[in-house]
Amino acid sequence: MDVLRRLFDESSYTVVFTGAGMSTEAGLPDFRSASTGLWNNIDPMELASTDAMYNNREAFIDFYRYRVESLRACTPHKGHEILAKWGREGKVKSIITQNVDGFHHLAGSESVAELHGTLRTCHCNDCRRRYPIDNFMELGTSCECCGFLRPSVVLFGEELPEDAFIQAEREAKKADLFVAIGSSLTVSPANLFPQIAKQAGAKLVIINIEKTGLDHLADLIITNEKIGSILQQLE
């Protein structure tokens, strides 16, 4: 922990990158944990892809309504609050997240690039008009104009939102310390950003209780403790 503390102290531009492991201590399952990952029992292509949205629509709607209900039962944990505090103090310049739970915003973080969108809103699949997620949950799934209301998350088979991608790329290139927290780092193109940071000269720290796809690039790997405990020791 002393090495990580020193890396933070020596850094002038720290960027934090988070995955679903950042929210498990808030009560949300991640996707690939050996024991509890959501994709251990669900094929994401059947429920979280564009093909599912068009050809398996009822199951798609049920799946995302279930995920929104799960989200409503949870709140950001201490780790989210610490990252927000570090953002206010300038210790962390920005967050790049794969998570769609909105917990970084709810905890008070301001500079957050949501690579995979958000479950906090929905939008018309045709005209792109955005609505509160309640419209998807309670008011049916038709837009006032024409099309199908769907959650504003990036489905398998869709491109990442351009503004988030550009923001994440800019931040990764500016980082002198890039801390990847709670991600298996197996999903592209999100897992490009730790690599972009590393190529631009940043030190790469990976905090994850299981091996990740980019451990071979890390300057420091912390696997023996949970995220919440680690962040509280550094607070």
Catalytic residues: 116
- Contact residues for ligand APR, defined by CB under 6 A: 19-21, 24-25, 30-33, 37, 44, 98, 116, 182-184, 186-187, 208-210, 226-227
Give the helix/strand (H/E) hosting 207.
strand 203-207
Closer Cβ to ligand APR, 30 or 171, answer by number: 30
Closest approach of Cβ 206 to ligand APR, in Å?
Answer: 10
Closer Cβ to ligand APR, 44 or 161, answer by number: 44
| 227 burial level (CB within 10 Å; 0-12, 13-18, 19+) | buried
For 176, half-sphere exposure in the C-beta direction (CA atoms, 13 angstrom radius) is 8
Closer Cβ to ligand APR, 170 or 226, answer by number: 226
Distances (CA, A) of 211 to 23, 148, 166, 195, 202: 18, 39, 28, 16, 21
Closest approach of Cβ 6 to ligand APR, in Å?
Answer: 21
* Position of minimal CB gap to ligand APR: 21
CA distance 127 to 122: 12
124: annotated binding-site residue?
yes
Closer Cβ to ligand APR, 31 or 103, answer by number: 31
Closest approach of Cβ 32 to ligand APR, in Å?
Answer: 4
122: annotated binding-site residue?
no
Task: Enumerate residues 6+ apart whose C-beta is below 8 A from 82.
Answer: 231, 232, 234, 235
Task: Enumerate residues 6+ apart whose C-beta is below 8 A from 159.
Answer: none
Closest approach of Cβ 142 to ligand APR, in Å?
Answer: 26
Could you tell me which residues are annotated as the binding site for Zn(2+)?
A: 124, 127, 143, 146
Could you tell me which residues are annotated as the binding site?
A: 124, 127, 143, 146
